[in-house]
Structure 1
Amino acid sequence: MTPNNELRLLPWSGPDGKPCFLSSDDGTGFLSRLADNAEETQLGSGAKILDQALEVLTDPDVDPDEIRLLAGDLTRALHDAIRVATSRGRRLPHPAHRAPQEHGPCVPAPPG
């Protein structure tokens, strides 16, 4: 099972739109690898859509229909990114189970 004995949230939904989960002892099985590849594809697509958004939003003559289309694409990409982050976050080891870290230099947080 994944850390914290949780099911893995998969990067796709079922036919009824409900989330899909995977129960697995490790992350090396076929479905785990398929999910990993799907997540990478989703994140890559999101990065491309973000680049397109930056171009469209700097164009003073952009068509309102293009902005609406872009908003839909950005919404889907954000949904995918949140799902990937949720899935990966659930698979992180619980802080109580982490090995103690060596004391190294502290890096202050940036101001603001």
Structure 2
Amino acid sequence: MTAHNELRLLPWAGPGGKPCYLSTDDVEGFMSRLADHIEAIQLGMASELLKQATPVLDDETANGEELSLLAAQLAGALRDVLRVATSRGNRHTTGSDEDAESGL
């Protein structure tokens, strides 16, 4: 089992929006691969949403309902991207610490 500071933040939330973590040393395990796949989907969806958002924001005839829906979708995508970035940042920091300790 991994130490608390080595837990992987997963790209989905648990009940009540609480963060979910994975404790494993197996980066090729089922849950690690599932998390990697979900992260890739979330990042791809955020990228596509950003492409779609620009025309809506540039459209002077866009109504409040369209803009409200876009804002909600962008907020959800931003939440997902931040969770992915946090998870990857935590794993990168942990890996760097291990490399430094081993002299790499």
Superposition TM-score, scaled by structure 1 size: 0.80
- Which residue does 1:72 correspond to in 2? 72
- Counterpart CA distance in 1 for 2:9 and 2:97 is 20
Per-residue deviation, 1:94: 2.4
- Which residue does 1:19 correspond to in 2? 19
Greater share of residues in helix: 2
Look at both structures and tell me which one has the larger radius of gyration over its CA atoms. 1
2 and 90 in structure 1: CA distance in 2 versus 1, 3 angstrom threshold: farther
CA RMSD of aligned residues (A): 2.1
1:6-53 deviation per Cα after TM superposition (whole angstroms, max 9, x unaligned): 100000111222100000112100000000000000001101110111
- Which residue does 1:58 correspond to in 2? 58
- Counterpart CA distance in 2 for 1:4 and 1:97 is 18
Alignment identity in percent?
Answer: 53
Per-residue deviation, 1:2: 7.0
Per-residue deviation, 1:86: 0.4
- Where 1:60 maps in the other structure, the secondary structure is coil
- Which residue does 1:97 correspond to in 2? 99
Unaligned 5+ runs, structure 1: 101-112
4+ runs of 1 displaced by more than 4 Å?
A: 1-5
- Counterpart CA distance in 2 for 1:87 and 1:3 is 15
7 and 95 in structure 1: CA distance in 2 versus 1, 3 angstrom threshold: closer
14 and 96 in structure 1: CA distance in 2 versus 1, 3 angstrom threshold: closer
1:41-67 deviation per Cα after TM superposition (whole angstroms, max 9, x unaligned): 000110111011111011111111100
Q: Give the number of aligned pairs.
A: 100
